[in-house]
Amino acid sequence: MVDLPSSPAALKHATWPDVEALYRSVLNEPVAPGDGEQWLATWSRLEEVVEEAGTRAMIAYTCDTSDPLKEQENLRWSAEIFPRASELQVQLAKRLLKLGFTRADLETVLRGMRTDIEIFREENVPLFTKLEELVSEYQKITGGLLVDWDGESKTVPQLQPFLKSRDRDVRERAFRKQAGAYLEQKSALSALFDGMYTLRDQIARNANFRNFVDYSFAAKHRFDYSPDECRAFHRAVEETVSPAVERLMAYRRKALGVEQLRPWDTAVVLETEAPPVPFRDVSGLVQPAKRIFRALDAELGGQFDLMAREGLLDLDSRTGKAPGGYCVKLSHRGVPFIFMNAVGVPEDVNTLLHEAGHSFHDFAAHRQPFIWQRATGHEAAELASMSMELFGLRHLGQPTGYYTKAERDAAEIEQFEDILQSLAHIASVDAFQLWLYTSGKGGDPDARDQEWLTIRNRFERGLDWSGLERERVSRWYRQLHIFEYPLYYIEYGIAQIGALQLWRDSLREPAQTLERYRRALALGGTQPLPEIYRAAGARLVFDAEGMRDLVRLVEERIGELRAQ
Q: For 539, which DSSP code?
A: -
In terms of Cα–Cα distance, which of 216, 155, 244, 276 is closest to 434?
Answer: 216
Least distance CB 385 / Zn ion (angstroms): 4
Pick the closer one to Zn ion by CB: 379 or 414: 379
Q: Identify the burial level of 379 via C-beta atoms within 10 angstroms of its C-beta, where 0-12 means exposed, 13-18 middle and 19 or more buried.
A: buried
Q: Which CB, 350 or 385, lies closer to Zn ion? A: 385
Q: Which is nearer to Zn ion, 353 or 436 (CB)?
A: 353
Q: How far is the CB of 492 from Zn ion (least distance, A)?
A: 8
On whether the CB atoms of residues 268 and 165 are closer than 8 A, the answer is yes
Task: Name the minimum Å distance from CB 315 to Zn ion.
Answer: 16
DSSP-based three-state secondary structure for 53: helix
Q: Phi and psi at residue 9, in whole multiples of 5°? A: -60, -35
Judged by beta carbon, residue 357 or residue 442, the one nearer Zn ion is 357
Contacts of 389 (CB under 8 A, 6+ apart): 350, 353, 354, 357, 415, 499
In angstroms, rounded to a whole number, what is the distance separating the alpha carbons of residues 541 and 496? 10
Give one DSSP letter per residue of 184-226, joined into a string: HTHHHHHHHHHHHHHHHHHHHHHTT-SSHHHHHHHHTT--S--
Order of strands across the sheet that contains 335-342: 313-316, 335-342, 326-330
Nearest CB to Zn ion, comparing residues 29 and 484: 484
Cα–Cα distance, 375 to 358 (Å, whole number): 11
As measured in angstroms, the least distance from the Cβ of 534 to Zn ion is: 21
Q: At what angle do helices 510-522 and 346-365 cross, to 10 degrees?
A: 60
| Helix H or strand E encompassing 323 | none
Closer to Zn ion by CB, 237 or 380: give it: 380
Least gap, CB of 358 to Zn ion (angstroms):
6
Residue nearer to Zn ion on the CB measure, 361 or 448: 361
CB of 289 vs Zn ion, minimal distance in Å: 16
Q: Measured from the CB atom, is 11 or 388 closer to Zn ion?
A: 388
Give min distance, CB of 132 to Zn ion, in A: 23
Query: Closest approach of Cβ 463 to Zn ion, in Å?
Result: 27
Of the pair 178, 385, the CB lying nearest Zn ion is at 385
Provide, rounded to whole angstroms, the least separation between the CB of residue 126 and Zn ion.
32
* C-beta separation of 527 from 108 below 8 A: yes
Of residues 385 and 513, the one with the C-beta less far from Zn ion: 385
Give the residue with the Cβ less far from Zn ion, 328 or 482: 328
Please give the Cα distance from 379 to 160 (Å, whole number): 28
Shortest spacing between CB 252 and Zn ion, in angstroms: 27
Report whether 64 contacts 325 (CB < 8 A). Answer: no
C-alpha span between 200 and 208 (Å, rounded): 13
Q: Which DSSP letter does residue 132 get?
A: H
Which positions lie near Zn ion, rule CB under 5 A? 385
Smallest distance, Zn ion to C-beta of residue 141, A? 25
Q: Pick between residue 42 and residue 385 the one whose CB is nearest to Zn ion.
A: 385
CB of 557 to Zn ion, least distance (A): 23
Is 453 in contact with 383 (CB distance < 8 Å)?
no
Question: Per residue, what are the HEC states of 346-405?
Answer: HHHHHHHHHHHHHHHHHHHHCCCCCHHHHCCCHHHHHHHHHHHHHHHHHHCECCCCCECH
Q: Which residue is nearest to Zn ion (CB)?
A: 385
Rounded Cα distance between 436 and 212, Å, is 9
